[in-house]
A = this chain, B = another copy of it.
């Protein structure tokens, strides 16, 4: 009966567990929850009140969601946090993927620990204006499995929101696990849907991912969270021709590495290829991809980001893709997506104020 929901096994005319007549009304006769309802404290959940107080110093809250896993949601969250911090905002990044926290690694913070102060739990800081909180910082062994059912996950999320001392934040970016289950219901209920700026949904162009994005959009509509937009990630793989390896298949079906020969051969016969980029669709987007879906569902399309092995590498190594030229194929696309979101939300003005 968290947050005053009517339990599934309640009697037909249940007055609601928050009502003054809870457990005492005629309708409660014989209900399995009667005793709990009659004796439980009424009124708003004190945790939600404490969370609202804690969040009073946070200007903007952005959820990063995905329907399917492995679409690059955490990579996006991490790079969004890096980008906002590079704009001189005060940024917090909260990882609520309890069973598979990848944020510590993607921010280069593996092995770090959380410290307690009299103000609450201290986030782990990448830089003075980029703090991070994740269950990944709380595991004694990195291989340990977190085998938790929903209620324990919900309790930890509540604790993250209530007990972490973020200080003054311009942005709190919340990286959620894929799907629409406990973590998602909890974060929206705890933060209060109305106080969340909105959600960015990350997808790949493949149909199986787009189907799940539709579910995610339905979820946002149902709980009253605005969809800030959809990002199509891994939208084709692009890489300089010379970065590829080359194989030849023998008649017996064996693969022989001919990379050296191929590169030399190209240099000699077709040197124009040294500066050419080769691209391929990894996921079939012949049915229109995310852009078409956005039109159909009436939500903003924020742009496409190609699958860039260099971006994967930056994520693995916990680096920002914006500080050097290595992610030349993906970083400009990511930046465009973030700028568009900021502009749509009228947040670009903050940037001007920041630089004033």
Contact = CB atoms under 8 A, between A and B. Distances in A.
A153 to B, nearest CB: 7
- Most chain B beta carbons < 10 A, residue from A8, A147, A207: A147
A145 B188 CA distance: 15
Interface in A90-105: 98-100, 102, 105
Interface in A260-314: 262, 265-266, 269-270, 272-273, 275-284, 307, 309, 312-313
Nearest to A275: B248
B182 A142 contact: no
Given A145-B216, A147-B181, A207-B316, A280 B309 contact: yes
Interface in A193-241: 204, 206-209, 211-212, 214-219, 222-223, 237-239, 241
Contacts of A238: 247
Contacts of A145: 180, 215-216, 218-219, 222
Contacts of A46: none
Given A70-B69, A246-B277, A248-B276, A149 B150 contact: yes
Contact of A244 (B179, B182, B279, B283): B279
Integer count of this chain's copies in the complex:
2
Contacts of A241: 246, 278
A199 to B, nearest CB: 13
A150 B182 contact: yes
Contacts of A99: 178-181, 215
Contacts of A179: 99-100, 177
Nearest to A71: B70
Contacts of A180: 99, 145-147
Contacts of A270: 265-266, 269-270
A247 B222 contact: no
A246 B102 CA distance: 34
Contacts of A222: 145, 147
A153 B178 contact: no
Nearest to A2: B149
Given A181-B99, A244-B280, A316 B208 contact: yes
A108 to B, nearest CB: 12
Given A145-B222, A147-B222, A150-B181, A280 B70 contact: no
A325 to B, nearest CB: 12
A315 interface: yes
B178 A100 contact: yes
A77 interface: no
Task: List the 8 shortest-distance A-B pairs measured between CB atoms, nearest first.
Answer: A69-B69, A70-B70, A150-B150, A99-B179, A143-B214, A145-B215, A145-B218, A145-B219
23 contacts: A67-B100, A69-B70, A69-B178, A99-B215, A100-B178, A100-B179, A100-B212, A102-B208, A142-B211, A143-B217, A144-B218, A145-B215, A147-B181, A147-B223, A150-B150, A182-B182, A207-B316, A241-B246, A258-B276, A265-B272, A278-B278, A282-B282, A282-B309
